[in-house]
Amino acid sequence: MSRTPLPYNPKILKLFRNPKNLGKMKDATAKAVAGNPSCGDIITLYLKINDEETIEDASFESYGCAANIATSSILTEMIKETKLEDAWKTSWKNVVKAVGGLPTVKLHCGILAVGALKRAIRVYYKSKAVSPDWLSDELTFEEKQALEEEELSDLLSKRMDDEGNVQC
Amino acid sequence: MMENIHDLLRAHEGLTREVFLDSENSCAVPKEVVDEMLPYFNQRAYGNPTLTHKPGWEAFEAIMKSSQKIAGFLGCRTLEEVNFAPGETEANNLALAGTAYAMRSHGKKIIICDTEPINILHVVDMLQKRGFTVVKVPVDSEGLVNLGKLEEAIDSETIIVSISAVNHEIGTIEPIREALEIVKDRNTETIFHTDASDAYGRIPFNVKDLDVDLATISSCKILGPRGTGALYVKKSVPVERLLEGQIGTQNLWPGIENVPSIVGFAKASELIFHNFEGKVHHLRKLRDKLIDGITRKLPGVILNGPRDDKRAPDNVNISFRRCEGEALTIELSLNGVYVSSGSACTRRLLQPSHVLVAIGRSYVEAHGSILMKVTWNHKESDIDYVLDVIPKAVKRIREIAGSVEVK
């Protein structure tokens, strides 16, 4: 059971109560998932991208904590009407700042949201079979972190299956 | 940080009803108990019980009277068997570490159950680092300890076996009598401890009748004040003090006794044992109303732990599929229903409740779990309110997850 106090700030609470851009987007141009339900946080990010490579619309769905919901929600607001090249420059730090800060144990929620954005941008260009100069082959920090979290919880679940108990 | 807390509290303004179901983690102390305690802060018995003046003798008397009451409810032979400590955590540390140190020349092996509370798990982890061997016996899908595995684990090196009488998270009533027989059959020297914090005041629990060596009970688990627990120590069972200092009336815990809290613990015990059968009946009724109400109103829910007589009368633990637990606790709080969750999200170890994992729940099922405990001062209308709030809250959190694949 929880023992860590989580003093969420007003902005997070507001976005938790009334998330913006919530829900599946039927006509999305690109979609990406980040996180793993085994570790308690997973989001799906939907982007509608026009021919000028501008994000016309963004939405999300989240299975996760209040911080996860709030960071996903604010990210969708931040990237609307931006060019993909500019959206690509979004750092998890921008997201954390935009929600007014996060408890340290929740920083990874901001990282997951941006990880999903970067994956979605890659999905878009892959579908177009083009690769602009600014799109690095190497995974960004957020993508690496998301991957690490996904692999870690896979590992923990597997270890649980093999030995019947969980090792810290 | 303080501003954030103020804002979180402001978000709760205007609540017309509040129901606290988190008595696993603390509780609101009933007025009868507070009234009993108040004079002991500044009107009487505020002296140190070991000193030779009136307020000191009054304090001594108050502690002895409280001991007497609790010894009676527990079935102790003598008052010396009741050892007050500041809480369940301290009493469990004393039981495990204090006994391990006292018994170290006899052997190094400690056996516990997989689903013990953190204040036992972390103590044995610490003991393991100091050269003791720890074996954790598994449980079945309802949380019942595997007695065969327990028997296999006991050998001549085994100094302590510790199994909770009632599991704190899923309410499983453990076969303590059978476990104790197995332990003593295999090794008469092995000390048997049970954390009875969730048994005391919920199921018949008598130390003399059971003949356990050590048993922990806790004030705030029976609507008593925080700051007091007790370790029952059967005569001649060796336990070493963990802290040193001025020894007063409590041989195993130094320092000045918390008289108001001890008085409150005794009063809370009296209240819960007054018409005990009636209280248990009331708890069961509320528990089943809550379980049935939730499982009937909502799809995708699983009860964790056993049902009916195999379950503690106060415990409700339910997993909600596709509904993350931390988000749900916040949504419920904003609607005046206070519960805790087995989700890892609240602590970021990426690991959910070890109890739910031990009974075979998936990580996702554990993340979506809610623990609630009903108490004798809850009314049926409280449960009606909770049953009105929970389905709406679960629905909203599930809507946020939308089509996300959660498996």
Cβ-based contacts under 8 A for chains A and B: 139
How close is the nearest chain B Cα to the Cα of A53, in Å? Answer: 26
For chain B, the first-to-last Cα distance in angstroms comes to 35
Greatest Cα pair distance, chain A, in angstroms, is 53
The residue of chain A nearest to residue B340, with distances taken between CA atoms, is A1
Do A150 and B347 form a contact (C-beta atoms < 8 A)?
A: no
* pLDDT value, residue B118: 94
Q: What is the 3-state secondary structure of A141-154?
A: HHHHHHHHHHHHHH
Whether B62 has a pLDDT exceeding 50, the answer reads yes
How close is the nearest chain B Cα to the Cα of A23, in Å? Answer: 6
Residues in A closer than 8 angstroms to B345, CB to CB, are 40-41, 64-65, 68
Residue B206's Cβ-side half-sphere holds a number of Cα atoms within 13 Å equal to 7
How close is the nearest chain A Cα to the Cα of B281, in Å? Answer: 28
Report all structural domains of chain A as residue ranges with CATH numbers, in order of start: 10-163 (3.90.1010.10)
* Cα–Cα distances in angstroms (integers) from residue B109 to residues B149, B154, B187, in the given order: 15, 9, 12
A164 touches chain B (CB under 8 A): yes
Task: Give start and end residues of each alpha helix (H) in B134-258.
Answer: 147-153, 176-186, 207-210
* pLDDT value, residue B5: 86
Are A63 and B24 within 8 A, CB to CB?
Answer: no
Looking at chain B, the whole-number percentage of residues with pLDDT higher than 90 is 94
Q: How far apart are CA A67 and CA A15, in angstroms?
A: 9
**Per-residue model confidence as pLDDT tens digits over B10-20:** 999 999 999 99
* pLDDT value, residue A161: 46
- The letter for the amino acid at B219 is S
* pLDDT value, residue B90: 98
* Cα–Cα distances in angstroms (integers) from residue A132 to residues A55, B64, B251, in the given order: 16, 81, 75
Look up the ipTM and state it.
0.87
**If you classify domain B2-21+276-401 with CATH, what class do you get?**
alpha beta
CA angle, corner B328, sides to B18 and B403, nearest 5?
Answer: 145
Residues in B closer than 8 angstroms to A69, CB to CB, are 327, 400
Question: If you count them, how many residues does chain B have?
Answer: 407
Region of residue B45 (phi > 0: left; psi between -120 and 50: alpha; otherwise: beta): left
* pLDDT value, residue A159: 54
Nearest by CB to A7, from B4, B325, B349: name it: B4
Greatest Cα pair distance, chain B, in angstroms, is 72
**If you classify domain B32-273 with CATH, what class do you get?**
alpha beta
Q: How far apart are CA B281 and CA B279, in angstroms?
A: 5
**Per-residue model confidence as pLDDT tens digits over B150-201:** 999 999 999 999 999 999 999 999 999 999 999 999 999 999 999 999 999 9
Local confidence pLDDT in tens for the 168 residues of chain A: 344 557 889 999 999 999 999 999 999 999 999 998 887 899 999 999 999 999 999 999 999 999 999 999 999 999 999 999 999 999 999 999 999 999 888 888 999 999 999 999 999 999 999 999 999 999 999 999 999 988 887 776 665 544 444 333
Closest-CA residue to A43 (of A80, A69, A66, A67): A69
Do B261 and B219 form a contact (C-beta atoms < 8 A)?
A: yes
The residues of B that are catalytic are 345
Do B258 and B265 form a contact (C-beta atoms < 8 A)?
A: no
Return the domain boundaries, chain B.
2-21+276-401, 32-273
Q: Do domains B2-21+276-401 and B32-273 have the same CATH topology?
A: no
Do B349 and A168 form a contact (C-beta atoms < 8 A)?
A: yes
Per the model's pLDDT, the better-predicted residue between B217 and B5 turns out to be B217
Q: How far apart are CA B290 and CA B140, in angstroms?
A: 24
**Per-residue model confidence as pLDDT tens digits over B101-116:** 999 999 999 999 999 9
Nearest by CB to B114, from A3, A157, A165: name it: A165
Q: In what order do the strands lie in the sheet with A30-36?
A: A30-36, A41-49, A55-63
* pLDDT value, residue B344: 66
* pLDDT value, residue A1: 36
Ramachandran angles phi, psi of B110, nearest 5°: -120, 130
